[in-house]
Amino acid sequence: MTVSLDPLNEVRRAEMRRLLLFSTLGHVLVLGLFFALPNPSSAPALPGIISVDLVSAPPGAPAPKPKAAPKPKPQPVPPAPPKPKPPPKPVAKKVVLPTEAPAAIPKPKPAPAKPKEKEVEYDDLLDQLRAEAGEEEPPPEPVKTAAASPVEGGGGRTGVRVPPEVAAWLRDARIHVRNAWVLPPGFRLQPLEAYVAVELDAAGNVIGSPRIERSSGNPWYDESVTRAISKASPLPAPPQAGRWDFVFRPEDSY
């Protein structure tokens, strides 16, 4: 029963030294980039961490764990600046979005007989999504709590009106990402929720790495979520290129 499985120490030490050097250089580089680039949010320092992980895989299992810890840590940091920003943004953009939407709508409008389609209340959209998922009773939605922030800006219910093509895209993107999302059963019994910001180009390609805006608190759940988005790329072409947010919240869905 006693086992001697000795990972090779000498080799590892040599590797360690080499990789430590790389790692240090990598960190210096990343730091440099951090200060050089105007937009810090676009620089999730993932690549730098990888090489460190490879080294640090020790004989014991916890190898991957150190990797997990550093990853979420840098992430929560960037969200900090964005967080204060969103509150004003939604208010401002709330006004913008409807104006943007009509700007986008005119194009499809002339050709197809879409005028019948009304703008959908975001709440209704959620209800619709829920109905699709086979959920009967809509629980008090986070959107209502979300409304809390818009309310400051004078929103009524949620106040967010979603143009039909956006609604359609939200639905398609959801299905697309869902199909790429693997979540082991153990995680499903936990109240986990992660917010992810994703940069999409006009064709739906994910640009760079998805960024955790709000961690679920479990780095491995966050991993599964960003992995799902990377795997889902390219997504259906979005109504407009740029940042889109994803909320991952497992419910009963067996």
Partner 1 sequence: MNPFLSAALAAIAALACLLSPVAFAQGKPPVIVTDPSARVYRVAIQRFAGTTEDASARLREKIGTALEFSSLFRPLDPIAFLGADQTPSLDEDLAFACGDWSQIGADALVQGEIRSETKLGIGKSDLVVEFRVRDVARSCRKLIRKRYRGGPDKESEIAKRIADDIVGAFTGSRGVSATEITFVSSRPGNREIFVMDADGGNVRQATHNKSINTFPSWAPDGRSIVYTSYREKRRPGLFLLARGGGSPGRILGGLMGGAPQYRAVFDPEGKRLAVVMSANGAAEIFTVRKDGKRLDRLTENRNIDISPSWSPDGKRIAYVSDRSGAPQIYLMDSDGSNTRRLTFQGAYNTHPAWSPDGRWIAYESRLQGQFDIWLIDPDGAVNFPLVSHPRSDEHPSWSPDSRLLAFSSTRRGRADIFVTDLAGDNIRRLTRSAGDNTNPSWGPYGK
97: nearest Cα among 160, 5, 185, 20: 160
Residue 242 sits in the site that holds partner 1 (CB under 8 A): yes
Least distance (Å) between residue 248 CB and partner 1: 5
Number of residues in contact with partner 1 under rule CB under 8 A:
95
Residue 191 sits in the site that holds partner 1 (CB under 8 A): yes
Distances (CA, A) of 134 to 119, 127, 138, 141: 24, 10, 10, 16
> Where in 88-117 is the site for partner 1 (CB under 8 A)?
89-90, 92-94, 96-97
Of 183 and 237, which has the nearer Cβ to partner 1? 183
Least distance (Å) between residue 28 CB and partner 1: 21
Of 110 and 191, which has the nearer Cβ to partner 1? 191
DSSP label of 53: H
Q: Figure out which of the listed residues 45, 52, 105, 192 binds partner 1, where binding follows CB under 8 A.
A: 192
Least distance (Å) between residue 114 CB and partner 1: 19
Least distance (Å) between residue 235 CB and partner 1: 9
Q: Figure out which of the listed residues 16, 151, 180, 237 binds partner 1, where binding follows CB under 8 A.
A: 180
CA 176/CA 228 separation, integer angstroms: 10
Residue 234 sits in the site that holds partner 1 (CB under 8 A): no
> Within 10 A of 166 (CB to CB), how many other CB atoms are there?
22
> Where in 21-80 is the site for partner 1 (CB under 8 A)?
50, 53-54, 57, 61-65, 68
Instruction: State the first-to-last Cα distance of the chain, in angstroms, to the nearest integer.
Output: 39
64: nearest Cα among 54, 51, 74: 54
- CA 13, 19, 25, 26: dihedral to nearest 10 degrees? -140
Select the span of 20-28, 36-44, 108-116, 217-225 touching partner 1 (CB under 8 A).
217-225
Least distance (Å) between residue 35 CB and partner 1: 25
CA 107/CA 126 separation, integer angstroms: 26
> Where in 112-151 is the site for partner 1 (CB under 8 A)?
122, 125-126, 129, 133, 135, 139-143, 145-146, 148-149
Of 10 and 111, which has the nearer Cβ to partner 1? 10
CB 78 within 8 A of CB 44: yes
Among positive and negative, which fits the CA dihedral 108, 111, 112, 116?
A: positive
